[in-house]
């Protein structure tokens, strides 16, 4: 039984008010794999060009990320995205998007991935996500979907088909409003959960995240940081921490989903401390537990005295 | 030993995207008194005109709000504010401000208020807050200050004098940025705490509140609401719940301040459900405990499994 992750593996070039990166390794599935592999082995589905560094693939393999499902198109180029963040670090302009190998990506689920118990559909074209769902012979115990406004704009019909087969959806607050057509996040959550997902996670960046399920709500804090160095991949890292914890514990209760969101938040708070995946590569169990303890102090209160 | 509250008692007329109120009773000290009197007796310092309803004064007296410090200027008019909220309910335009009695307000601290142990300086001209501080013969155990951008714009010198004598400052996120000149709330908190307050509470509306003290941070959630009917007075009600809980428990530890913020948040979440103070008048102990239990469910998580 295993965790299967689908998403892009790519190059990014990032500009922030505080600095500028070279062309560095990025992509949703890359961040998810670096993060989730702290908790459980990962079976990766993606596509890269001949320009993608072998050292990166080797480093992931060394972390028990199975790359059998990663297609390497030797004569093509990897997906490339370049963007510039504004002062608030919540909004950004896309400077360059070169789809390259991603433009014609047809995922193939290896036979060895058919034991998939937990499926993480990273941010990617809904048609690719649907293809993976169709190729799996058994429905996963939990399917988690990360998506974005871009797909709501250009591929809403496909996205709705994925949503109907999704257990947990992750979007940010403006995307929840766009998808539901409702400004109130509480009403937006009801509308979106009627589209398929039994659980909805609304990510609010520096304001934390909300988890909705039936009539229940959980509000996770974000760690207040003196500096957000590079927000790229924070959402993917959050997804990786969430699904990594769920896959490790195999506990699908609402209470454990709360804990999984805290794990995702803790991992994301590390991610933004340096450019790209750099910080994720440095941290291990001790650092993770230290940050989780900070979250307990951050959110814990005693109401017994009232 | 007692809680002394300073602030405006006034009339408001409110427009929201969802409705419009008549000229109704409002004012920072009114909201604080309605809220804090659930937890502890209140000694009120304010000023009203002859137009302020006797029934409102009687209702507050019945709740153990001592009005000896409230000046009634029979031949003058009460402070009047009128505003219109935008769709997001976080921003608003002021339509009318008539200072009336507030323009010449010189607070007088009655002798019976000299046992003041907890002082709540509600949002008001810093000169008035300073006058109250000067008239108190003994320094209170805890002085809490609520203020706003308006006073930073026109009375920053006076405000800094109040800040130097304040233990806990409450402002919203944009005000914290304005006062500190720093976009990062973590750095803003350090700058502001160097101005006097040992504790800083940054209110973030629907995103909850942050409490800073030394190197510690606490992040309180806001209850996600389907509808915010009228945000007027939410900040004052938050202040009333915070200081009411502190005055009741007489516990100045960081842990109890966390609890006090949850109490303030719970009370504020009731306040916004109806126009003006209407909802605060309806609720009692049962409703308060029910909402507090919702906050426990909202924020509580178990990290033991990680």
What pLDDT score does A15 carry?
93
pLDDT value of position A17: 86
Q: Please choose, from the candidates A146, A176, A173, the residue with its C-alpha nearest in 3D space to the C-alpha of residue A238.
A: A146
Q: Do the domain assignments include residue A199?
A: yes
- CB contact under 8 Å between B305 and A258, yes or no, is no
Q: What is the value of ipTM here, to two decimals? A: 0.90
- The answer to whether residue B83 is domain-embedded is yes
pLDDT at A90: 74
The number of C-beta contacts closer than 8 angstroms across A and B is 116
Provide the pLDDT for residue B269: 96
- Comparing CB atoms, the residue among A207, A288, A305 nearest residue B259 is A305
Higher pLDDT, A118 or B90: A118
A172 contacts in B (CB within 8 Å)?
Answer: none
pLDDT value at residue A226: 87
Q: Between A53 and A302, name the one with better pLDDT.
A: A53
pLDDT at B174 over 90: yes
CB contact under 8 A, B305 and A251: yes
Which residues in chain B touch residue A207, judged by CB atoms under 8 angstroms apart?
204, 207-208
Mean pLDDT value across residues B220-238: 92
**Among chain A residues, CA nearest to B202:** A224
Which among A207, A259, A297 has CB closest to B204?
Answer: A207
Pick the range with the lowest mean pLDDT from A193-197, A217-221, B16-20, B133-137: B16-20
Does A297 sit within 8 Å of B263, measured CB to CB? no
- Among A171, A218, A221, which residue's Cα sits nearest to residue A191? A171
**A173-212 residues touching B, CB cutoff 8 A:** 183-187, 204, 207-208, 210
DSSP secondary structure, A14-34, as one string: EEETTEE--SEEE-HHHHHHH
Instruction: Give tens-digit pLDDT for B248-277.
Output: 999 999 999 999 999 999 999 999 999 999
Q: Residue A110: its pLDDT value, please?
A: 98
Query: For position A229, what pLDDT does the model report?
Result: 86
Residues sharing a CB contact under 8 Å with residue B62, sequence separation 6 or more, in sequence order: none
Q: Which chain B residue lies closest to A257 (C-alpha atoms)?
A: B301
Do B301 and A220 make contact, defined as CB atoms within 8 angstroms?
A: yes
> Rounded mean pLDDT of chain B?
95
Scanning B40-79 for CB atoms below 8 A from A yields none
> Residue B228's pLDDT band (boundaries 50, 70, 90)?
confident
Q: What is the CATH number of the domain that holds A54?
A: 3.40.1190.20
CB B169 within 8 A of CB B201: yes
Strand-pair partners of A42: A3, A65
pLDDT in tens, B67-123: 999 999 999 999 999 999 987 777 889 999 999 999 999 999 999 999 999 999 999
Instruction: Please tell me the distance in Å from B187's CA to the nearest CA on chain A.
Output: 6
A247-285 as b/e: b if 16+ CB within 10 A: bbbeebeeebbbbbbbbbbbbbbbbbbebbbebbeebee
| In contact, B3 and B42? CB cutoff 8 Å | yes
DSSP output for chain A: -EEEEE---EEEEEEETTEE--SEEE-HHHHHHHHHTTTS-EEEEEEEETTS-HHHHHHHHHTTEEEEEEEEETTS--EEEEEEE-TTSS-EEEEEEE-GGGGG------GGGTTEEEEEE-SS-HHHHHHHHHH-SS--SEEEEE--HHHHHH-HHHHHHHHHT-SEEEEEHHHHHHHHT-SSHHHHHHHHHTTS-SEEEEE-GGG-EEEEETTEEEEEPPPP-S-----TTHHHHHHHHHHHHHHHH---SHHHHHHHHHHHHHHHHHHTTSSTTHHHHH--HHHHHHHHHHHHHHH----TT-
Residues of B in contact with A305 (CB under 8 A): 249, 251, 256, 259
Q: Is residue A45 part of a domain?
A: yes
pLDDT at position B305 is: 63
pLDDT score of A189 more than 90? yes
Cβ neighbours of B222 in A, within 8 Å:
219
B305 in a domain, yes or no?
no
- Domain with B217 in it: 2-299
Q: How many domains does chain B have?
A: 1
Q: What is the pLDDT of residue B49?
A: 98
Say if A50 falls within a structural domain.
yes
How large is the average pLDDT for residues A80-92?
86
Would you say residue B78 lies in a domain?
yes
Q: What is the mean pLDDT of chain A?
A: 95
Determine contact, residues B80/B104, Cβ cutoff 8 Å: no
- Please check whether residue B304 lies inside any domain of the structure: no
């Amino acid at each position: 039984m295993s965790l299967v992750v689908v998403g892009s593996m790519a190059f990014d070039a990032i500009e922030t008010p505080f600095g500028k990166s070279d062309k560095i390794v990025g992509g949703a599935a890359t961040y998810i794999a670096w993060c989730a592999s702290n908790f459980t082995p990962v079976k990766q589905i993606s596509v890269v060009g001949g320009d993608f560094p072998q050292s990166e693939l080797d480093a992931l393999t060394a972390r028990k990320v199975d790359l059998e499902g990663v297609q390497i198109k030797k004569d093509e180029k990897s997906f490339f995205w370049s963007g510039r963040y504004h002062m608030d670090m919540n909004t950004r302009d896309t400077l360059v998007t070169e789809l390259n190998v991603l433009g014609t990506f047809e995922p193939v689920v290896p036979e060895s991935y058919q034991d998939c118990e937990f499926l993480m559909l990273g941010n990617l074209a809904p048609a690719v996500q649907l293809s993976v769902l169709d190729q799996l012979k058994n429905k996963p115990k939990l399917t988690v979907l990360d998506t974005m406004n871009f797909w709501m704009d250009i591929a809403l019909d496909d996205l709705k088909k994925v949503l109907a087969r999704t257990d947990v959806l992750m979007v940010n607050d403006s995307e929840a409003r766009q998808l539901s057509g409702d400004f109130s996040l509480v009403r937006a959550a009801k509308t979106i959960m009627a589209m398929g997902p039994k659980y909805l996670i609304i990510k609010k960046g520096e304001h934390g995240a909300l988890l909705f399920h039936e009539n229940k709500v959980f509000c996770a804090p974000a760690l207040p940081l003196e500096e957000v160095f590079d927000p790229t991949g924070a959402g993917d890292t959050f997804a990786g921490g969430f699904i990594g914890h769920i896959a490790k514990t195999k506990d699908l209760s609402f209470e454990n989903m709360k804990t999984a969101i805290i794990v995702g938040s803790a991992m994301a708070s590390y991610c933004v401390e340096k450019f790209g995946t750099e910080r994720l590569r440095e941290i291990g169990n001790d650092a993770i537990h230290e940050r989780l303890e900070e979250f307990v102090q951050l959110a814990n209160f005693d109401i017994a005295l009232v």
